[in-house]
Amino acid sequence: MPYYKLLFLNKYKHLVKINLFNQILLMIKRTRFHIYISFLAFNLIFAQFSSVDVKIDDRLLRSNEKQKIINLHSDIKRFYINSTWDDNYNDLDINIYVQIIFEGVTEKGSESIYNCQALFSNGGELRYFDKSVQFIYNSGTNLYYDPVLFEPLTGILAFYGHLILAGEIDTYEFNGGNSSFEVSRDIALRGSASDYKKGWGSRISLVDNLNRNIGLRKARLAWYIAMDLYKDENINPLLEELNIMLDGIEQSYRDIGRDNHTQYFLKIHSNQIAKILKKLGQEELLIDMIELDPDRIEIYRSALEKISK
């Protein structure tokens, strides 16, 4: 029997009238209700992931296999919203998009192992596609991340959740996402040592590459600071941050090469970068962007031509 019920029963054990006993039970129910509502409110207030968009593609599964994962969509949403991620950044209101594409099921003893591809994104430049996802899933059980006992489904969800959280925190503080990167790496290490090790070696490399790409991390922070300064029309600090952003991209190329993550950052923001530089009349910085981002040369050339007119 729960502890609070024992307290109530001991306190009122001398009362034998049935109507009074029913009042006590009603008090308990009300107390439980308010505790539950308070718990939900606490989780909503301090949720890092405020919006979770989950898409499941199960076209390659048999009808009985589809039935077994019918609750997966809602379970993943609850996992991201209800989990505690980083106590120091508990009000970020991050959007996360999860797409899982089922490829088939492998039977191993009494377990059904689902083989999938998956995409995790914040809807912006943080975007991770994984071709080697494996997990088991039992409908009706709550998904929660256990930092000690590795479980493949919550492991993969937590791994990419912390990667996206790290990228978001990096836009508020230089290298602020270090602790979340460390959590992701720890998950990947435990995954690689588990019975479900497929893909975890590549995930270790992924988090290591993201963590050591200091140039991109510097560029992303400078860009988001620049965006705030642009809204406030604070021109001199804005130009300083834009120069820091370009320096960061150059550093990324020197340290890492033209990696996919830096290229995707430029792809997502190239139009806005060109727009701001054009408005500020920064011809030299636009020429620098042509050298740094030749895949989008026409965007920067167009901005240069408009300055010249």
Nearest to 35 by CA among 27, 45, 23, 47: 27
Question: What pLDDT is recorded for position 36?
Answer: 34
Instruction: Give the pairing of strands 94-108 and 49-57.
Output: parallel
Question: Which phi-psi region, left, alpha or beta, contains residue 166 (left: φ > 0; alpha: ψ -120 to 50)?
Answer: alpha
Encoded tokens for 175: 């290298």
Show the 3-state SS of 123-167: CCCCEEEEEEEEEECCCCCCCCCCCCCCCHHHHHHHHHHHHHHHH
Give residue 238's pLDDT: 98
Residue 1 buriedness (CB in 10 A; 0-12 / 13-18 / 19+)? exposed
Average pLDDT over the chain reads 87
Token look-up 């990324």 returns 252
Question: What is the distance between the alpha carbons of residues 203 and 189, in angstroms, rounded to a whole number?
Answer: 9
282: alpha, beta or left? (left if phi > 0; alpha if psi -120 to 50): beta
The pLDDT assigned to 47 comes to 61
pLDDT along the chain (309 residues), means of 10: 36 37 39 34 56 98 97 97 88 94 94 97 98 94 91 98 98 97 98 96 98 99 98 96 98 97 98 98 98 98 90
Q: What is the pLDDT of residues 128-166, one digit of tens each?
A: 999 999 999 998 889 999 989 999 999 999 999 999 999
Please give the pLDDT value at position 48. 84
In angstroms, the CA 244 to CA 225 distance is: 11
Radius of gyration of the chain (CA): 25
**Sheet (strand 94-108) strand order:** 49-57, 94-108, 111-121, 127-136
**Given the structure tokens 């791994």, which residue do they identify?**
159
Tens of pLDDT along 53-78?
999 999 999 999 999 999 999 999 99
**Domain spans of the chain?**
3-43, 50-212, 215-308
Q: How many CA atoms lie within 13 A of 138 on its CB side?
A: 6
pLDDT of 46 reads: 46
The alpha carbon dihedral of 60, 63, 68, 74 has a sign of positive
- Supply the pLDDT for residue 209: 98
